[in-house]
Amino acid sequence: MTEKALPAESAKTQTYIVFVVAGTSYAVPSHQVQHMEMVERVTPVPNAPRSVEGVVFSRGQVVPVINLRARFGFERTTINQRARLLVIQHGNRTVGLLTDEAREFITIADGSIQPPGDAIGNLSGGYLDGVATLGQRIVLILNIREVVESTPVAAA
């Protein structure tokens, strides 16, 4: 019922928000990002999964914060002025992704995104949707479902 035929050309490009984790550029489709905010203080949650930094209030809602550095297996660093929280809507869940920085809003043509090769897939543990080549740059497209749903939940 909801599958209204989209005009053919609108399927060709999508806008993305680019963010950096441990020196690597990643991108998420902008329509999945509710908003971005600076990170002031994240309240730790006792006995939460390792990659969960804690919780924050975002627009009145209690939102878990996944530290992508920890999630991708890098060292944690102290949160500074450049750090950004990407608040993501995934299904009926709202989850914050803690990134080192996020400043860019770009348009990527579907054609310039290739499936992650085996080598790259291994690098990031399978949570990539693809690899976009933009001139000299390489941007990894994040698979949000994988990042959110495969983060181990809190032990009860």
Partner 1 sequence: MSDRDPQFESSFMDDYFAEADEHLLAIRRCLLMLDAAQGADVPPAVLEELFRSCHSLKGISAMVELREAELLAHHMESGLRAIRQGDVALDGGNLDTLLAGANALEAVIVAKRQGVPVPSEELAIAALGALASSQVAVRRPPADAPDSIGNARGWTVTFVPSPELVARGVKVDTIRARLLEFGKIRSVTPRVQAGGGISFEFDVESGDEASLSALRTDGVSYESLPLPVSPAQADAAAAGGDPSTSPRAWEVASGAPGNFVRVDLTRLDDLMRVAGDLVVTRSRLEDTLRRVERHVPAREFRSLQEHDSLMERQLRDLREGIMRVRLVPVGEVFRRMPFVVRDLARDSGKRVQLEITGQGTEIDKFLIERMMDPILHLVRNAVGHGIETVERRVAAGKPPDGTIRLSASTVGESVIIEIADDGAGIDIAAIAQRAPAKGIRTEEGVLDSRVLLDIICASGFSTRDEADRISGRGVGMDVVRGTVQELGGTLEVATEPGRGTTFTITLPLTLAVIDAIIAHIGDQIFAVPQSAIQEIIEVDPGSLRSLEQNELLTYRGRALPIVRLGRLFHISAAARPRLHAIVVGTGLSAVGLLVDRVAGHREIVVKTIADPLIRVDGVSGATELGDGKLVLILDVAALSRSVRERRRAGERALV
Contacts to partner 1 by CB under 8 A: 1-2, 4, 6, 31, 40-41, 43-49, 52, 54-57, 60-64, 66, 93-95, 151, 153-156
Q: Indicate the residue among 50 and 137 with the shorter CB distance to partner 1.
A: 50
Residue (25 or 84) nearer to partner 1, CB: 84
Q: Which is nearer to partner 1, 96 or 116 (CB)?
A: 96
Nearer to partner 1, 81 or 92 (CB): 92
User: Cβ-count burial of 33 within 10 angstroms (0-12 exposed, 13-18 middle, 19+ buried)?
Assistant: buried
Residue 126 token pair: 């399978």
Alpha helices (H) in the chain, listed in sequence order: 68-71, 118-123, 144-149
The strand pairing partners of 53, in sequence order, are none
Distance CA 115, CA 107 (A): 18
Question: What residues are paired with 57 via a beta bridge?
Answer: 62
Q: What gap in Å lies between CA 149 and CA 156, rounded to an integer?
A: 17
- Minimal distance in Å, beta carbon 40 to partner 1? 7
Smallest distance from the beta carbon of 20 to partner 1, in angstroms? Answer: 23
CB of 37 to partner 1, least distance (A): 12
